[in-house]
Amino acid sequence: KAPGHCASGERLCSVEEATAGSGTYTRHGFIFSSLAGCLEKRSEGSGPLVVSVVRDAEAQLLPDVGDVVTCKICGINSRFAKVHILYVGSTPLKSTFRGTIRREDIRATEKDKVEVYKSFRPGDIVLAKVISLGDAQSNYLLSTAENELGVVVARSEAGVQMVPISWCEMQCPRTHTKDFRKVARVQPQFLQT
């Protein structure tokens, strides 16, 4: 536990020593933390010491089931794509979480005909939804089976950002080469370029 951190329900001090501020409650003459976070002690001028607990934003933000996340494809094989999760909604994550998009979770229709390498390539930026909190390696299971989900940014062989031309193809504006992708119908609030 980092210094100055407290757990939810932790006893902080007695009410004689300080006044309960935000993120705390009093019981039986003691002040307790009502959430996990950073302990702050402040006194206004000659006033009493006020103890408060500030929620630690970094500790709280974890991808959760149902969240839309922005991730980067880091590897693919015939059964799934491996990703690094970069954003939850529009909030950047401080540390990297790994995720997997299985072949059967790429598309909502004709799942048996899906080919991973025709959906994603390493380096693609993808919008996906968290469908389960994975195993001990913090490997989240993700899905791109909705229209809004899928590849939002992809670069062509020439290194140029490609333009979506259909729900399953993107094109390089420089070379006009077409590549297969599971393209997201992007909602502007998710654009993280």
Question: What CATH number does the domain containing 86 carry?
Answer: 2.40.50.140
Q: Are residues 71 and 143 in the same domain?
A: yes
| 1: amino acid identity, one letter | K
Domain check: are 48 and 81 in the same one? no
The residue segments making up the domain with residue 73 are 67-149
Distance from C-alpha of 154 to C-alpha of 164, rounded to nearest angstrom: 9
Residues 142 and 98 in one domain: yes
Per residue in 8-24, pLDDT (tens digit) is 889 999 999 999 998 89
Domain count, the chain: 2
Structure tokens at 118: 């025709």
Q: Are residues 101 and 49 in the same domain?
A: no
Q: What is the mean pLDDT of each run of 10 residues along the chain (193 residues)?
A: 75 93 91 86 83 71 86 96 92 85 93 93 96 73 95 93 93 95 72 47
pTM metric for this prediction = 0.66
Q: Is residue 125 part of a domain?
A: yes
Interval 53-86: pLDDT, tens: 887 654 556 788 899 999 999 999 999 999 999 9
Q: Based on the domain organization, do 84 and 142 belong to the same domain? A: yes
**Tokens matching residue 53:** 């607990």
Whether 183 is in a domain gets the answer: no
Helices (H), the chain: 57-60
